[in-house]
Amino acid sequence: MKKLIALLALALLSQPASAQDAPKWSLAIHGGAGTLDPKAMTPEKRAAYEADLQRALDAGSKILAEGGAAMDAIKAAIIIMEDSPLFNAGKGAVFTWDGTNELDASIMDGRDRSAGAIAGVKTVKNPILLADTVRTQSEHVMLMGAGAEAFAVEKGFAVTPPEYFATPARREALERLKAEKLSALDVDHKFGTVGAVALDQQGNLAAGTSTGGMTGKRWGRVGDAPVIGAGTYADNRACAVSATGWGEYFIRVGVAHEICARLRVQRELLPRQMGIGDPHRSPTPMSHYYQVLARSDQGAADAVMADVASLGGDGGVILVTPEGEAIFSFNTTGMYRGRATSAGVNEVAIFGGEEKASATPDH
């Protein structure tokens, strides 16, 4: 009987709530979370951010809609943001104390939990592509600094000159930090890390994150973005997560893995708690089960972000579930973000509470 119950539960979990409301594919992106002031956001600046977020969303969505892989979709979305000077990743990355741009990135495939990451790279135009090459063409998970750059050259990556990454706004931020003896948080009112998570039509999940770190960082500081389990995690059994925020706290909490672990446990326990497959209980409507699951998933993400806040950290996460829910959770005033699904959701937002009422409620 126990085996029968398990098989029934598995059958339910493998089916959508209904043919109409369960997304066949789903994508969420972010471009950084932080202390964002709506009054300081000019219409022109807002339009520029929204345009680049939409371009990234469209690039990933096109791949997913045409039946492409989640891994390809997140890379396409992240490359758009790495190439934009508006975000702290690739071109437009912040400066270190020594006046250089050091780039970090990571990527993970939910099918087999293969992962790749790079840290402290200065000569690679699109760090997310190098992270994926570490995943697919090496026996390692993380490479750093000069070694990662040598690996990149060996694998055919062009050497990008340092001036490509530099922008006047980021240089001014470093100069102000030094002149006024400020912290990175004083000059960076947002964390411009970029990321993407996706579910494809084959049911596979993927996550990726890319960043330039924090303004004025020293001593080879590395945050959560390239750390698998902190800034990035993907597991087909649970979810795909990409984080942005104060990396030291995200590492201490293990944010990305912690969220996925909670979602995996929920998928193991909730069917039993709701009596799914129990012949002695009235059958639970499939739609009700997925509604409860979606609320539980949002609650898990919010709880982990609350844990980050309790330690003194801030930031946010995006995640996509095996059922196609695209979820945001952040404990800052805003997060540059967007999501699109095959069920018709397509939106970008910056401040809290800007999503349409038809989408998953934001926190």
- The backbone torsions φ and ψ at residue 285, rounded to the nearest 5 degrees and listed phi first, read -60, 135
Distance (Å, whole) CA 315 – CA 331: 6
3-state secondary structure at position 154: helix
3-state secondary structure at position 158: coil
Tell me, yes or no, if 193 is annotated catalytic. Answer: yes
Distance (Å, whole) CA 102 – CA 133: 18
- Give the burial class of 83: count Cβ atoms within 10 A of its Cβ; 0-12 exposed, 13-18 middle, 19 or more buried: middle
CB neighbour list of residue 90: distance below 8 Å, 6 or more residues apart: 81, 82, 83, 84, 103, 125, 126, 127, 165, 210, 212
Residue 359: which of 305, 316, 318, 306 has the closest Cα?
318
- The stretches of 182-330 forming alpha helices (DSSP H) are 184-187, 247-253, 255-273, 286-311
CB neighbour list of residue 8: distance below 8 Å, 6 or more residues apart: 276, 277
Distance (Å, whole) CA 209 – CA 117: 9
- The stretches of 183-244 forming alpha helices (DSSP H) are 184-187
Are the C-beta atoms of 252 and 317 separated by less than 8 Å?
no
Residue written as tokens 């649970």? Answer: 238
Out of 96, 123, 160, 193, the active site residue is: 193
Chain centroid to CA 195: 4
Among all residues, which ones are annotated catalytic? 193
